[in-house]
Amino acid sequence: MADLLVRNLDWLIVWDEANARHAYARGWDLAVTGGAISHLGPGFAGTAAREIDGRGLMAMPGLVNVHSHASYIAVTKGLYEESAVPDAPDPVAGVLHVFSSLMTLQEHEKPHALNYALAELLLSGCTSICDLAFAWDGWLDTLGASGIRAWAAVQYASARYVSPNGHTLGYDWDTAGDGARLKAAIAVAERAAGHASGRLSPMLVPAQADSCSEALFRDTVAAADERGWLMQTHAAQTEWEVREMMQRHGCTSVVWLDRIGFLGPRTTLGHVVFTDQHPWMHLHARDDLPTLARTGATVAHCPTTQTRRGKTLQSFARYRRAGVNMAIGTDIHPHNMLDELRCATVMAKVADGDTHALFVDATFEAATIGGARALNRADLGRLATGCRADIVLVDTGHWTMKPLRDPLRSLVFTGLDRPVRHVFVDGVQVVADGTCLTIDVEAAAAGLDAAQKRMLGDVPSRDPLGRSIDSIIPLSLPMLG
């Protein structure tokens, strides 16, 4: 007997093994046994403990988010969207100053921020995430209680960013502490691997290419190789970072990471926008994309965070043609994977100036198969027998899906999270009728709101110039009275 049967589905996005791609099917049944897909096709003859009528529904694989900061970034809503720090000539310098120095969550506030983001993810059909965070008491248990599948990734670095005047950016190095920070990250990763939920996995994350020493990267690789763990870092995120790396090492961030042995099939690089072929860099070399393809490293493309700063990949299609494994991440709020897919698809066309440069099937593949490949999990990101039952059921009768000719296009370009009805992880339902079953969303939102009010009130005492948050990041409209 199956645990779950969805009978006579209107549409399915299934994995076509013969052609190594997603494809549509209609009128099929989907059965789940022991947390895995046990039947996929027409005419299921068995019985099930629970049966769902699939008419008016589309089944698709859960989306895989390989780069998110779910534990803390939601508290920046109303602040981060436009990176509007007028006195900072480099927007990244201003943002890093504000959010690494001025906006610090207290321990009791952190579960609210994480739950808020996890609910957004689940409600947008995301079933797997990499949460790049700073460890706090209760982090792993909060991830586990949400029902999501997560790679818990503690960020650590040799240097912290400093800005004594609010508009320049520098580094406060402490390489002597590298060993202790790596050891602490390994200890948390081991706890994730042994977590009672069974859905948490380890990952090692030296935070940024420019903030970690070569020794720290090499020691991370040794620790990951010994344990068979995945790794991730931020790289080529900004022009500023790449030029800093070229001054230090005479090469780009990507090439340097390859030289020191960090790149490989178990490595993901967040962003990788400013490669040596990006027109803003005005470089003559063209080594970065071939290096990524040769090493098998994954690029975690996070389109929303870049487009808010007037930047984008040049271009998603070019990376794919070069043979680079492309995956999708949310990075910042909103943690809405379907919105990221829409942004990635549209901006790929803008970057190439060609509406035919890329279609939504490619970005959907990145958000499923590409992410699963990055995580070394062939049993995720696809609907196929034997794969884990990470399943999203979409209401094809929802008004945002009409008229319904091509449901994937309707979902990504117009429906987004609104028609997502049910979500399952390992066959366990975490969203029902558009409601998150594992998280009290209203309580998380209220807690997050209170945390931001407290943080904003503290800004003048933390800013080196004693400014208020309204002085640093003005409201979008003037206040009367």
Residue with tokens 């996890």: 118
- Of the CATH numbers 1.10.3720.10, 2.30.40.10, 3.30.160.250, 1.10.15.40, which one belongs to the domain with range 2-61+385-435? 2.30.40.10
Please indicate whether residue 196 or residue 309 has the higher confidence score (pLDDT): 196
Structure tokens belonging to residue 343: 């942004």
With a cut of 70, say whether residue 95 has pLDDT above it.
no
* Residue percentage of the chain with pLDDT more than 70: 95
Give the pLDDT of residue 7.
97
Give the pLDDT of residue 170.
84
pLDDT tier at 84 (50, 70, 90 boundaries)? low
Give the pLDDT of residue 464.
78
The domain locations on the chain are 2-61+385-435, 68-374
- Mean pLDDT (whole number) for 383-392: 98
With a cut of 70, say whether residue 93 has pLDDT above it.
no
The secondary structure element, H or E, covering residue 429 is: strand 428-432
- Mean pLDDT (whole number) for 174-196: 97
Q: Which residues partner with 59 through β-bridges?
A: 12, 393
Backbone angle region of 349, left / alpha / beta, with phi > 0 → left and psi within -120 to 50 → alpha: alpha
| CATH architecture entry for 68-374 | Alpha-Beta Barrel (3.20)
Residue with tokens 């201003």: 94
The string of pLDDT tens digits covering residues 101-148 is 667 889 999 999 999 999 999 999 999 999 999 999 999 999 999 999
Measured from the Cβ of residue 331, the count of other Cβ atoms closer than 10 Å reads: 25
List the 48-53 sheet strands across, edge first. 36-41, 29-33, 2-7, 48-53
- Mean pLDDT (whole number) for 340-351: 95
pLDDT tier at 154 (50, 70, 90 boundaries)? very high
pLDDT tier at 164 (50, 70, 90 boundaries)? confident
Q: Do domains 2-61+385-435 and 68-374 have the same CATH topology?
A: no
The string of pLDDT tens digits covering residues 436-469 is 999 999 999 999 999 999 999 988 988 878 888 8
Mean residue pLDDT across the chain:
93
With a cut of 80, say whether residue 75 has pLDDT above it.
yes
Please indicate whether residue 238 or residue 129 has the higher confidence score (pLDDT): 129
DSSP structural state of residue 388: B
pLDDT tier at 166 (50, 70, 90 boundaries)? low
Give the pLDDT of residue 98.
60
Give the pLDDT of residue 308.
85
Q: Which residues partner with 436 through β-bridges?
A: 431
With a cut of 70, say whether residue 85 has pLDDT above it.
no
With a cut of 60, say whether residue 179 has pLDDT above it.
yes
Do 135 and 184 contact (CB within 8 A), yes or no? yes
With a cut of 60, say whether residue 92 has pLDDT above it.
no
- Mean pLDDT (whole number) for 197-209: 97
* Residue percentage of the chain with pLDDT more than 90: 83
With a cut of 80, say whether residue 168 has pLDDT above it.
no
Long-range contacts of 22-31 (CB under 8 A, 24+ apart): 22/361, 22/364, 22/365, 22/368, 22/369, 22/382, 24/407, 29/5, 29/54, 30/5, 30/6, 30/54, 30/59, 30/383, 30/391, 31/2, 31/4, 31/5, 31/6
- Mean pLDDT (whole number) for 218-227: 98
With a cut of 90, say whether residue 401 has pLDDT above it.
yes
Residue with tokens 């948490």: 200
Q: What is the pTM of this model?
A: 0.95
With a cut of 90, say whether residue 267 has pLDDT above it.
yes
Give the pLDDT of residue 310.
86
Q: Which of 19-33, 87-101, 104-118 has the lowest mean pLDDT?
A: 87-101
Q: How buried is 134 (Cβ within 10 angstroms: 0-12 exposed, 13-18 middle, 19+ buried)?
A: middle
Calculate the CA 467 to chain-centre distance.
Answer: 32
How far is residue 275's CA from residue 209's CA, in Å, rounded to a whole number? 13
The string of pLDDT tens digits covering residues 354-368 is 999 999 999 999 999
pLDDT tier at 481 (50, 70, 90 boundaries)? confident
pLDDT tier at 382 (50, 70, 90 boundaries)? very high
